[in-house]
Structure 1
Amino acid sequence: MSQTRPQLAHLTATLNELKERGTYFKLRVLDGEQGPVSIYDGREVINLASNNYLGLCDHPKLKEAALKATEQYGVGSGAVRTIAGTMKIHLELEEKIAAFKNVEACVVFQSGFTANAGTVSSILGKEDFILSDELNHASIIDGARLSRAKIKVFRHKDVAHCEELLKEVQNEPGHKLVITDGVFSMDGDIGPVDKLADLAEKYGAIMMVDDAHASGVLGRNGRGSVDHFHCHGRVDVQVGTLSKAIGALGGYVCGSRDLIEYLYHRARPFLFSTSHPPSVAATCIAAFDLLESEPERIERLWENTRYFKQQLTSAGFDVGGKTTPASETPITPIIIGEGKLTMEFSKALFEAGLLATGIAFPTVPEGKARVRTIVSSEHTKAQLDRALEILTGTAKRMGIL
């Protein structure tokens, strides 16, 4: 029985609303390693819900690196980076990422969220303008709000609309920032990084890309959307994550040496958060080595992605492109529409042996609820075929197909 005091009764009311709408959820608990087949809530299920694109979460070389670093450096850094918490291994990781991304410098944050929010909020102020894709990640939205800059939202991937907005503000004082996701996390489509970079150059704007879901997925050896579009040297701020394809935890910002030095001095999450445990830094270094030495992982990821999308489409599922953007990456949404039905479908899939998370408003717009699936490089064809059987059988039983 909840012991909520009257001062927080409005929270209980909101939870009750979610229950009535059928979009209330409980956290599923993983017992064991994150893999293509995992044990959640005591049930073995095919896992199509994680961001473990390349199967690195439990890779032996990453585990070995983490154990070795723990033995050598201990379990924590004991301080924020600017006081006493910058360890040699943190700098090694940042140098590794900067070389991988073909930029001057890199700084690692505690998460992809803090990398985005901390960067946007620190490099702009109230006299400035942010031009942001309407489907950009929540961390970009929060960073934009914290910056107090004037926010202009352009229609999803609509370069002409972005240019209209740039023209409106080109003679205003203040800096202009154009920002897009490299890969959009709910629809799996790719941002028009090259065309937006053209605009940024034309109007003298700062160009920024959030490559959380493109890192390890797009570009040579997973270098991301900037490499995919051959835009090296044209994107001022590149954000990436260490918690998805890289398999560990954290985010990073890449760019010029001056950008990184500035973030050392002004990015609040960097200034006020303890640095990564050395085991995490070592794990990430090992992961970037693997991206270079095992490119076949990315090839397998894309083979599985093409096969799974094709089979879903053949079965009659809406995987985007009708009422939502078309998926172009391993993120493949199955659009259901109504929130309650989506959550019921996700629950039924789990009971049948498949983990595929239902996502509804406010994460996605009303009427565009979906079950989001993400294949990995480590799924076998047999596992994907079984997942397709479960999806098709359950959807037919529930009248979705």
Structure 2
Amino acid sequence: MAKIKHHNFLNTVHEVFSDAKRAGVLHLYAGGKSFSGRTIEVKGRELFHFGTTGYLGLEQDTRLKRAAMEAIDKYGTQFPLSKSYISNPLYEELEDHIKEMYGYPIIITKNSTLGHLGVIPSAVDDGDVIILDHQVHWSVQNAAKMLKNRSVPIEMIRHNHLDMLEDKIKKYQYKKQHIWYMADGIYSMYGDYAPVKELLSLAEKYPQLRLYFDDVHGMSWVGRNGTGYVLDQLRELPENVLLFGTLSKTFGASGAVLACSNPQLYDKIKTFGGPLTFSAQLEPASVAAAIASAKIHLSPGIYRLQDELRERIDYFNDCLRLTGLPLIDQNTSPVFYIGTGMPKTGYNFVNRLMHEGFYVNLGIFPAVPVKNTGVRITISRHNQKEEIKALVEAMEHHFPIALEDTHTSIDRVFHAFKLKPGTMGESRAMPKLKVEVHESIEQMDGELWDRYLGGQGVYDGEGLQFLERAFKDNDRKEHNWSFRYVTIKDEKGHPILMTFLSLGLWKDDMLAPAQVSEAIEEERKRDIYHLSSKVLSMGCLFSEGSHMFLDASHSLVDKALALLLETMEKLERQMGGKMTVLRDFDGNTPWHNELYGQGFLRVQMPNSCTVDLQGKQTMENYMGQLSPKNRRHFRKDIQPYLGLVQSKVIATGSSSELLDFKRLFEEVRSRNLGLNTYSFPDRLFEEMNQNPLWEFIVLTPFKDPGPIVGVMFCYINLNRVYVPAFVGMDYDRLETYATYRQLLYRTIERAIGLGIPKIDFGMTATFEKRKLGAVVNEKYAYLQTHDNFILEMLGVMEGQE
């Protein structure tokens, strides 16, 4: 498989969000002339509101509203000065109240995002290291990544995996001054908690450990004076803990707050904190509303509000227990998450609930992994028991229908979230299609296979027999691949879809930038399998081309594709895979939306290259049809070097030649960290050497005929396609002989000599291939991962020294 272009994360997010917008569940506008908090108008319909983050309903409290209006009347809509110069007249009172709430020095920030941007670069020194929980809020991750410019290492651990955290601490305990672990108190999607007490014990064991908590979703509804979940667990705020709370969301106003008991650290952040210094301050109305809320938090009334919310949370939990709905984390926070698995199921479920009169949030990538799409439901004091019960009844009714509508199953949902199988029934009417899965190409009808998938790449029937022999019974696990051949037929036995799959060990950084792979390779000197996973892929790492036959004219083609994806999911589960890859689609595939709906993300691959040799009987004839610019390229950059080397075609190499072939290929592979793969087994080259359909185009210097400077490994597919599968080169003499350009030229020359009408030139180096007449086409792959951890961890590493 050729090098995949490094994917633009923002483009993926844009495509996912655009898909959700088209489904009518994202980027909506609330309507109506007023807002009560209990209901919300969406698309002209009044819905019960189960999507708020104002859990106590204080945003509708008349005391906050009155204070905000009076502040505008007295001080205007804003106070346009930096707080570094002078704060508006209400700020000092607010700071006094918030400090009284926490019992520790505090800093008010415009919002939590700007707060993190100000605090993290100020608190973390150049001699420190940051470790991020995988699910810590994006605003924390984004602020932490700013420190890459100061060469502060940034690591990531799986969500709440304290054993993994301790391993990271041990890695840095004698190298770094402070080790910062950053996490949420309450996580905003699943509503689960940080293990605060266990983290505090870890900090006692390792004095270098400092804890940074974003507890904006734990604020107000729990804890003394409503100061949140984390402080409720800590009881007292140690000097090695920085704690963020919020003055918005449940607090009912606007802004955020940092609590810090370390005097030196507090002074450092307070004196100059980037956005804390230069950003505009809170508007007078927001400050006044926050003062009113703080007074409530400092009164016994806050505990009455907390109790009222807890009663609703308990009631919702009681109702859910009577259903088979996949609740992802059962706890007592006001945040609940019902998993749907595939995005399109989530779209369907949300739309059904809105039609029934309930507004809920869609949980979608990148907030959750694509396969962990679901519905986030938040409970507030606005919600009454009758509508809570009605929501649960609506979910219980519509959830299995949403599964049926989107051709999925409850078992797939539970598997996606690693839950025990549920009891909710389903009644899917499966299309009358037959799926056949074989473990060897020899079990397939060879004529049928070649009719639909032969004539391209290295995967006609003969080529697949060769691959099966080469990638089995090897000593090392990365050299052993499992193959599966999938055929989906209609009732009459006609194939609608055919493809082959492989399961192999991939380096997790295979598609990462070269500098990331370079750093990871240092770790692999100690552990060769560090950051590696089994991947179920359409095609294999050795093949390129259109790996799937699909009868687009068949009436059941959409059902066949959905059935393939379900079959691949089962195979991945059975075979222990961690990611699924569908490859080599063009940019206009009609199944793009379906694949996104099934939880796949699209990444652009390098452009593919083919050469049409129809009617080209001589090399002179072929070169004559190139553009004037490309002919000049040949005369200047290729022709002068042709006389420096001898080109010959070897059908079967000697033992010494085969060793040279392996060595030259390894020179290319080991340097290509942009496509970082494990090596190929020796058996591959031996099988290639013995197979009559493989041959080697070899370049040796005329003046020094002994050493080989370049070799192209070529496969002849059904005498219809010539496939230069990969290349080996001596890098010390690469420029001396223009080796790569010569090998491209000689490959075309050889195909013409054999009378083969087409070359599949594969991917990479499209600029060089285009100059020799290759036609270039865009290609895309679709990836489906169990979670985002590896992708995000590699993203964190990118740009680090």
Alignment TM-score, normalising by the size of structure 1: 0.89
* Match runs of 1:1-400 below 5 Å: 15=14, 19=18, 25-31=26-32, 32-33=34-35, 35-84=37-86, 86-103=87-104, 105-148=105-148, 149-204=152-207, 205-234=209-238, 236-256=241-261, 257-291=263-297, 292-294=299-301, 295-321=303-329, 326-399=330-403
Query: After TM superposition, which residue ranges in structure 1, 4 or more long, deviate above 4 angstroms?
Result: 10-24
Q: How many residues align?
A: 386
> Identity over aligned residues, as a percent?
26
Equivalent position SS for 1:311: helix
CA RMSD of aligned residues (A): 2.3
In the TM superposition, what whole-angstrom CA distance separates every residue of 1:271-327 from its partner, at most 9, and x where no partner exists? 221101111011011112223331211111111111112212322111114xxxx44
Cα gap change, 1:80 to 1:360, in 2 (>3 Å)? same
1:6: which partner in 2? none
2:595: which partner in 1? none
In the TM superposition, what whole-angstrom CA distance separates every residue of 1:305-353 from its partner, at most 9, and x where no partner exists? 11112212322111114xxxx4441100011111121022112211221
1:7: which partner in 2? none
Amino acid at match of 1:116: H
Equivalent position SS for 1:177: strand
The CA distance in 1 between the partners of 2:116 and 2:201, in whole Å, is 22
Query: CA contact under 8 A between 2:244 and 2:259: conserved in structure 1?
Result: yes
Which segments of 5 or more consecutive residues in structure 2 lack a partner in the other structure? 1-8, 404-409, 411-423, 425-801
Equivalent position SS for 1:142: helix
Please state how far the C-alpha of 1:141 moved relative to its aligned partner: 0.5
The CA distance in 1 between the partners of 2:275 and 2:266, in whole Å, is 14
Please state how far the C-alpha of 1:99 moved relative to its aligned partner: 1.4
* Greater strand share, structure number: 2
Equivalent position SS for 1:316: coil
The CA distance in 1 between the partners of 2:12 and 2:256, in whole Å, is 35
The CA distance in 1 between the partners of 2:53 and 2:359, in whole Å, is 13
In the TM superposition, what whole-angstrom CA distance separates every residue of 1:342-394 from its partner, at most 9, and x where no partner exists? 02211221122110011111210121111000001231111212222322232
In the TM superposition, what whole-angstrom CA distance separates every residue of 1:231-288 from its partner, at most 9, and x where no partner exists? 4132521101111111122111111344343223332221221101111011011112
The CA distance in 2 between the partners of 1:285 and 1:232, in whole Å, is 24
In the TM superposition, what whole-angstrom CA distance separates every residue of 1:87-112 from its partner, at most 9, and x where no partner exists? 23112212211211121x11111112
Cα gap change, 1:52 to 1:34, in 2 (>3 Å)? farther
Query: CA contact under 8 A between 2:127 and 2:178: conserved in structure 1?
Result: yes
Query: CA contact under 8 A between 2:13 and 2:365: conserved in structure 1?
Result: no
Cα gap change, 1:133 to 1:17, in 2 (>3 Å)? closer
Amino acid at match of 1:36: R
Cα gap change, 1:121 to 1:23, in 2 (>3 Å)? farther
Amino acid at match of 2:247: L
Query: CA contact under 8 A between 1:208 and 1:236: conserved in structure 2?
Result: yes
Please state how far the C-alpha of 1:122 moved relative to its aligned partner: 2.2
Query: CA contact under 8 A between 2:77 and 2:283: conserved in structure 1?
Result: yes
The CA distance in 2 between the partners of 1:60 and 1:143, in whole Å, is 36
The CA distance in 2 between the partners of 1:201 and 1:130, in whole Å, is 18
The CA distance in 1 between the partners of 2:246 and 2:15, in whole Å, is 35
Query: CA contact under 8 A between 2:196 and 2:234: conserved in structure 1?
Result: no
Please state how far the C-alpha of 1:80 moved relative to its aligned partner: 1.3
Query: CA contact under 8 A between 1:342 and 1:358: conserved in structure 2?
Result: yes
Range 307-316 or range 296-305, more displaced: 307-316
Amino acid at match of 2:243: Q
Cα gap change, 1:40 to 1:249, in 2 (>3 Å)? farther
Amino acid at match of 2:61: H
Alignment TM-score, normalising by the size of structure 2: 0.46
2:549: which partner in 1? none
Cα gap change, 1:231 to 1:196, in 2 (>3 Å)? farther
Equivalent position SS for 2:314: helix
Query: CA contact under 8 A between 2:128 and 2:179: conserved in structure 1?
Result: yes
Amino acid at match of 1:237: L
The CA distance in 2 between the partners of 1:88 and 1:161, in whole Å, is 48
Amino acid at match of 1:242: L
Please state how far the C-alpha of 1:42 moved relative to its aligned partner: 2.5
Query: CA contact under 8 A between 2:28 and 2:42: conserved in structure 1?
Result: no
Please state how far the C-alpha of 1:216 moved relative to its aligned partner: 0.8
Larger radius of gyration: 2
Equivalent position SS for 2:60: coil
Query: CA contact under 8 A between 2:69 and 2:285: conserved in structure 1?
Result: yes
Higher relative contact order (Cα pairs below 8 Å, separated by 6+ residues):
1
Amino acid at match of 1:88: P
